[in-house]
Structure 1
Amino acid sequence: MQGLYPKALKFGDRQWIPDSKASHCMICEKPFIMFTRRRHHCRQCGIIVCHACSPGLVKMLVEYGNKAIVKAVRVCNNCEKWKPNETAAVAGTSSAIRSSNVEEKKSKGEAKEKTLYRTRTICPKCAVVEGKGFNSPIPAKVIIRSQQVCLTATCPRHMEFSTILSTNPSFFQTQLEYAKDSRFALSEDIEDLATLNSKIKLTSKSDNHPFMFEIGIFENGEFVKRSRLHRKVSEFQRSKPSDLNYVLQFNCGLVPKHEILKLNQLLLDLEQEFKGPPIIVVNMPFDRMIDLAGLKTTVLLKSRVYPSVKYFLVPTKEEDYIVELDQVITSLSEISDIRLIIDLVVEQPMPDLSQIMGWLAQNRALIPLVVLTMVRSPTQVYRKMVKEEEEEDRSDGDSIIDTNSGVDAGKLVDAVSKATNGRITGTDMVPLRALGALEPLLRLMGHGRYSIRPHASCGFGTCLISTKTTTSTPVSRFFNMKRLYRQIHDFGLKVGSNESMSLALLRELRTVLKTCAVPQASGDVASMSDLLKFNGPPSIDVIKDFQFLLVHTHMDFASIDASRRCECAVLTPALAGTGFTAGCTRCY
């Protein structure tokens, strides 16, 4: 059967033209440009062409050492006219290849894998390297293999690719199963496109809605037009139930220093125009936040506006963190009752978090929310994929995209544990999806109705509590968290559609807290439960002793999980047209 197919050329063959011999595509004669118009070899004739002149794949006989298999390889437009006419031969050969691969994996002990759930993903090489966009999701699954949690899929063009999501399968599974058997449990597998399209389209009748809507107001070196801001926010508001609250975040980007006054006026106008969201977050770099806070009429004086600083933690610069963030604290301390959100971003290699974690504990009264996110440099990921494709052109090897560092938030938790000498560990973390159990409580406490139901693998966190005897101690040291989650969940079901806290409900809630307390913390828990008011939220003196630490599992363009995307807690406008994309990917 293999005799039906011609032999594919490879690096070193006589017809294979070296890269150095071609500065232009040999068909369209356009010059090659790094990243945007790259060199590709035709496996039939060996010439060098651009992607536009070699979009097709043809089954050919590819040699692997002493073996040869039939594989779809790149050919130029001139050679694509050749097609094999024995479909059965292709099917038979492919079946034999699959059987051979399975046996080989079994012999190496790699065939043992556990599927956690099925989803869809985007081939990053097709989407980014070849510029085809993010409109063609392919079947994928999240599995445990070789003691690692991986998102794996097979692209018809680039073969198998895999991204490591976690090197701690036990922790990952615990997060997925935390909210099992409840209305906040992980949704069913997403395998077919019809299911995906119905879930990803946001309407007022959707099962799940985001908690936050982000929109940029300064992008690509200029302010976004007011008409676009109104159009996008209005589109989002129409896509949710009218009684559902949300957090509106304005991302201010790198606004020039001389434009701060203009930015402040724009934010003041937007705060007046958008009356819907009870909370507005203004996110910007630390130095621009200092400038904004120094204005006499700063928008930060508005009671529903919260400042948020995004800060990138760089190794060897640990002492600079404290100096620069102290400047932010000093500038904001002039504003009464102000509360700051800190968004800390890290990359590999991991910086030392000891000083920053101590600083956060010291400033807990001013910083109620800390978000830790591990990311990968998009440029580095892109360059790695380009390099892999160039090596494949020369070696005839299967393309395996193995982006195995940077998306494992468990490593970030380990770094936090080390920095706090075990004061905060992975066992203290609960998935953010479990916070959905608090939805009825927020409503009863006068905050309105929210949807807090992110995918179980989107992130996890803990509440750090300070009492007379402890400082920034995880809530799990006070309560049996699994028991507390079940009790609060059941309490929420009893609440039903009630909009206010009755005396009977208040007593029951206090009882729930006390019965879920661990023995050594019963005194502290009794004091906390007694602070709950009959109506309204606790006083500011109580809230300042609570600090929420969230760890966000970043999803970039090389690790897109459609199951996560369908339950994304943060959406942002699509770059073109209508609709929305995930806040972390910005592309899908």
Structure 2
Amino acid sequence: MTETILYNTKTFCPRCTILERKGLLLRDAVVVSRDDKVYLKTLCDQHTDNRTNETLYCSSLSFFQRMMNFDGTYMKTLKDIEDLTTNIPTKPTPSNFTIELNIHLPNSTFLSDQEIKDNLLQFQSYYPKNKKFVLKVSAKGSNDIETINEKAKMISNQLKGYPILLEVTVERLNEIAKLNDSAFLMGKIYPALKYYLKRGDEELFIKDIQRLLTLLRQFSDIQSAVTIVVERKFANLSSILSLLRQNNDVIRFIILSIERPPKELVSSLQAKYNNNTVDQQQGNNNDNEDDDKIINFSDPYELIQEIQVATEGQIKDEDFYPLSTASVLEPMFNLMGYGLYNIRPSPYCAFATCLLNTESLKSVPINRLFNITKLYKELLPILPSIEEKIGFFNGLKIKSILKNCNIPGVTIPNIFDYLTDKSKSHITKRVIDQTQILIIHNNMDIAALDLKRRCHCSVETKHRDGFVSSCTNCI
């Protein structure tokens, strides 16, 4: 079988790190293509059976290449792969779209108001004065609804002009929504649900969402985000996605996130290595069994295929693009008065599609109307010159680009006119308020670290006596 190296990187050897507990030691690694699939292969000098040191990175080579082609650097071979470790920033950069603040400590106490204010000032210092971010407030492990509500309101008063997501469990969201002085009455605090969905819990999820929607509709113009954390084998997403898409007036963001439970990952690794040891002892060398020896799966394309089946082809793999392509829309958001944000995660960290809803369109992916690849490539060069102000000549250029990126045979008005003409602002706002963003968050866990990709989006933050590298919450 022909194998092609796509690029060099570094990773943790799963056997050294997880099973043998030798610590977080970076090993040489390569991302390779084979049989139209993509694998992350650890080149560990202590474990030479490389086939058992592989992670299925993507089950579609064409999808992987389409996503990564939006980043012109990933295929380039670095002269010294060790230089990657120096690229990780030591403090958050202004590329973060979202910053998370957990207001509840492990010792069952809340951050004081002053501690919260200090954190907010620190967050703001990471950004130029003209840039904004979304603050995600969580209270992990707390059932104190009253305090959570009061802290959220205090944060909103301190952080004026910034959107705030309050992410708690569905039960706590329900209780907060019932309060007479609910934080959701303030207008800039939005409910954010994170739901761990297992196969068999589909009906419970639907009941929980319907109950929550009934409460949220009591608030004027409220919008929310729903993050569904799934694991293999996936739950049946048909009725779930149908419900979420039908309620696009309240649910603005649908985020599907794949996570591998640690216990399941460890047991899977142990089983694979044990099977491989038995095969070696018995002298078995059956190529048909090779796929079973790939120790784990970190494959977002599998979830995208599930979505295609669940929506009966209404949403397909070609409808998804790297979330980072939204960077070309940053000036548009600013033009409409939403503020200037950075939306620039690594191309393989998140894939998204906009679902448009109008009088004639019902949850239709935006790329059915626009050539997104062409739009991105033509708008990207002029981004630096339109960050603060678009101007007359750039306005004409953008108008022409938008018109030329229409899909042939699809008749739609020029979007730029609706973005710039104040007399049409109510129409623009109505369309935007009905638009949903469907995102696949492709998590990178300890058994699938790709340092080259990680350097796009990781940050070292102070933790006890040292620093820890973590996701920048760019999604």
Q: What TM-score comes out, normalization by structure 1 length?
A: 0.70
CA distance in 2, matches of 1:189, 1:115: 10
CA distance in 1, matches of 2:335, 2:467: 32
CA contact (8 A) 1:255 1:288 kept: no
Q: 1:249 aligns to what?
A: 136
> By how many angstroms is 1:474 displaced?
0.5
Query: Partner letter of residue 69 of structure 2?
Result: E
What residue ranges of structure 2 are gaps of 5+ in the alignment?
282-291
Q: 2:156 aligns to what?
A: 271
Q: Which of 231, 235, 246 is equivalent to 1:347? A: 231
CA contact (8 A) 1:209 1:567 kept: no
Q: 2:287 aligns to what?
A: none
> By how many angstroms is 1:146 displaced?
3.3
Q: Which of 307, 312, 321 is equivalent to 1:421? A: 312
Q: 1:195 aligns to what?
A: 83
Query: Partner letter of residue 175 of structure 1?
Result: M
Structure with greater helix percent: 2
Identity across the alignment (%): 27
CA distance in 2, matches of 1:576, 1:127: 22
Query: Partner letter of residue 5 of structure 2?
Result: T
Q: 2:190 aligns to what?
A: 306
CA contact (8 A) 1:439 1:449 kept: yes
Matched, 1:166 2:54: no
* Number of equivalences: 458
CA distance in 2, matches of 1:298, 1:190: 53
Q: 1:224 to 1:385 in 2, by over 3 A?
A: farther
Q: Which of 70, 92, 99 is equivalent to 1:213? A: 99
Q: Secondary structure at the match of 1:472?
A: strand
CA contact (8 A) 1:213 1:248 kept: yes
Matched, 1:576 2:444: no
CA distance in 1, matches of 2:30, 2:122: 32
Q: 1:124 aligns to what?
A: 14
Q: 1:62 aligns to what?
A: none
Q: Secondary structure at the match of 1:368?
A: strand
Query: Partner letter of residue 126 of structure 1?
Result: C
Q: 1:329 to 1:490 in 2, by over 3 A?
A: same
> By how many angstroms is 1:445 displaced?
3.6
Larger RCO of the pair (alpha carbons < 8 Å, separation 6+)? 2
Query: Partner letter of residue 551 of structure 1?
Result: I
CA distance in 2, matches of 1:448, 1:188: 34
CA contact (8 A) 2:399 2:414 kept: no
Q: Which of 36, 45, 70 is equivalent to 1:147? A: 36
CA contact (8 A) 1:446 1:537 kept: no
> By how many angstroms is 1:473 displaced?
0.4
- Give the ranges of 4+ consecutive aligned residues of structure 1 lying more than 6 Å apart after TM superposition: 389-397, 535-538
CA distance in 2, matches of 1:324, 1:118: 45
Q: Which of 500, 521, 527 is equivalent to 2:410? A: 521
Query: Partner letter of residue 64 of structure 2?
Result: F
Q: After superposition, give the CA deviation of every residue in 1:384-412 in whole Å (9 maximum; x if it has no partner).
A: 33556677899987xx983333x211111
Matches within 5 A, 1:446-525: 446-495=337-386, 497=387, 499-502=388-391, 504-522=393-411, 525=412
CA contact (8 A) 1:574 1:581 kept: no
Q: 1:510 to 1:144 in 2, by over 3 A?
A: same
Q: 1:157 to 1:292 in 2, by over 3 A?
A: farther
Matches within 5 A, 1:21-60: none
CA distance in 1, matches of 2:225, 2:178: 18
RMSD: 3.3
CA contact (8 A) 1:461 1:550 kept: yes
CA distance in 2, matches of 1:574, 1:518: 48
Q: Secondary structure at the match of 1:519?
A: coil
Query: Partner letter of residue 516 of structure 1?
Result: C
Q: After superposition, give the CA deviation of every residue in 1:315-347 in whole Å (9 maximum; x if it has no partner).
A: 233222221101111111111111010111211
CA contact (8 A) 1:454 1:567 kept: yes
Query: Partner letter of residue 200 of structure 1?
Result: I
Q: 1:527 to 1:458 in 2, by over 3 A?
A: same
CA contact (8 A) 2:8 2:29 kept: yes
Q: 1:60 aligns to what?
A: none
Query: Partner letter of residue 247 of structure 1?
Result: V
Q: 1:125 to 1:214 in 2, by over 3 A?
A: farther
Q: 1:63 aligns to what?
A: none
Query: Partner letter of residue 376 of structure 2?
Result: Y
Q: 1:526 to 1:299 in 2, by over 3 A?
A: same
CA contact (8 A) 2:335 2:419 kept: no
Q: Secondary structure at the match of 1:418?
A: helix
What residue ranges of structure 1 are gaps of 5+ in the alignment?
1-108
Q: Which has the larger radius of gyration?
A: 1
Q: After superposition, give the CA deviation of every residue in 1:442-478 in whole Å (9 maximum; x if it has no partner).
A: 3444444332221111121111112222200001111
Q: Which of 436, 443, 446 is equivalent to 1:557? A: 446
Q: 1:221 to 1:128 in 2, by over 3 A?
A: farther
Shifted more, 373-382 versus 573-582: the winner is: 573-582
Q: 1:438 to 1:530 in 2, by over 3 A?
A: closer
Matches within 5 A, 1:13-412: 109=1, 112-134=2-24, 136-159=25-48, 160=50, 161-180=53-72, 186=74, 188-189=76-77, 192=80, 195-203=83-91, 209-218=95-104, 220=106, 222-226=108-112, 236-256=123-143, 259-274=144-159, 278-386=162-270, 402-405=294-297, 407-412=298-303
